[in-house]
Amino acid sequence: EAGVAQSPRYKIIEKRQSVAFWCNPISGHATLYWYQQILGQGPKLLIQFQNNGVVDDSQLPKDRFSAERLKGVDSTLKIQPAKLEDSAVYLCASSLYLTRQGVTEAFFGQGTRLTVV
Amino acid sequence: AQSVTQLDSQVPVFEEAPVELRCNYSSSVSVYLFWYVQYPNQGLQLLLKYLSGSTLVKGINGFEAEFNKSQTSFHLRKPSVHISDTAEYFCAVTYTGGFKTIFGAGTRLFVKA
């Protein structure tokens, strides 16, 4: 089966510019996650969707970051305006389900490496 | 607050030696536990998971982990490591309270010849 697809793989922008990342999860996966991984650190959850509803966005800097999940499938993450500290790898992941009946593991995309200069 | 602590940021070990990578988590609710591995310039991939049942779980590449509820730990072990095991290892916990998945900061395993 096809894995989680992300684009672009790399992006370099100047501070105060805007940028968008795209993610296509594994077909049929209800749960989609966006993580930020700063060099040398573990992935930090930014936002978690269940179908097209937001489950958790408590660590999303909402003054500059936004995310949506179109029709419960693809998702985009946007940063506007970008700051130097946003330089990181942005990981998208999906899992089949995450419910009170049980959970399944997350499958990760290759990530988008963002450099803000 | 929910948190995942990987006690060692780096673990150097000689080839064919045993290794243990430690993971502790905070919890007042039931959890699901995962270990992921990230090889250089690659994405995260699942090593093993604990969802229910036996507290000793076996994963790929000869790794295993033991869930200890009283200690709130999920340590990863391998009896004999190879050079190819050099990678970053992440412990992740899904909390049933809000089904949020939190990652530890990672442990860099460096296997020396």
For residue A20, CA distances in Å to A9, A99, A113 come to 12, 29, 12
Q: Please answer whether residues B90 and B104 qualify as being in contact, where contact means their C-beta atoms are separated by less than 8 angstroms.
A: yes
* Residue of B43, B100, B105 with shortest CB distance to A108: B43
Q: What is the pLDDT of residue B99?
A: 78
Q: Which residue of B has its CA nearest to A45?
A: B102
Contacts of B92 in chain A (CB under 8 A): 106
* CA–CA gap between residue A28 and residue A17 (Å, rounded): 34
Question: pLDDT tens digit string along A63-107?
Answer: 999 999 988 899 999 999 999 999 999 999 999 877 666 778 889
Contacts of B90 in chain A (CB under 8 A): 42-43
Q: Do A106 and B101 touch (CB under 8 A)?
A: yes
For residue A62, the tally of other CB atoms under 10 A from its CB is 10
- A73-85: per-residue pLDDT in tens? 999 999 999 999 9
Measured at the CA of A86, the angle between CA A24 and CA B32, to 5 degrees, comes to: 55
Beta carbons within 8 Å of B34's beta carbon, 6+ residues apart = A105, A106, B46, B47, B48, B49, B50, B91, B92, B93, B94, B101
Backbone angles phi, psi at B50, to 5 degrees: -120, 120
Say whether pLDDT at A44 is over 90: yes
* Chain A residues within 8 Å of chain B (Cβ atoms): 33, 35, 41-45, 48, 50, 55-56, 91, 93, 98-100, 102-103, 105-111
Q: Using an 8 Å CB-CB cutoff, list chain B residues near A102.
A: 51
Considering only residues A56 and A16, tell me which one the structure prediction assigns the higher pLDDT: A16
- What letter represents residue B18's amino acid? P
Query: Considering Cα of B52, then B95, then A71, then A88, what sign does the dihedral take?
Result: negative
Instruction: Find, among B86, B76, B112, the residue nearest to B4 by Cα.
Output: B76
Contacts of A42 in chain B (CB under 8 A): 4, 6, 90, 103-106
User: pLDDT tens-digit profile of B25-79?
Assistant: 998 788 999 999 999 888 899 999 998 889 999 999 999 999 999 999 999 999 9
Residue B75: which of B94, B96, B89, B54 has the closest Cα?
B89
CB contact under 8 A, B43 and A91: yes
pLDDT of residue B29: 82
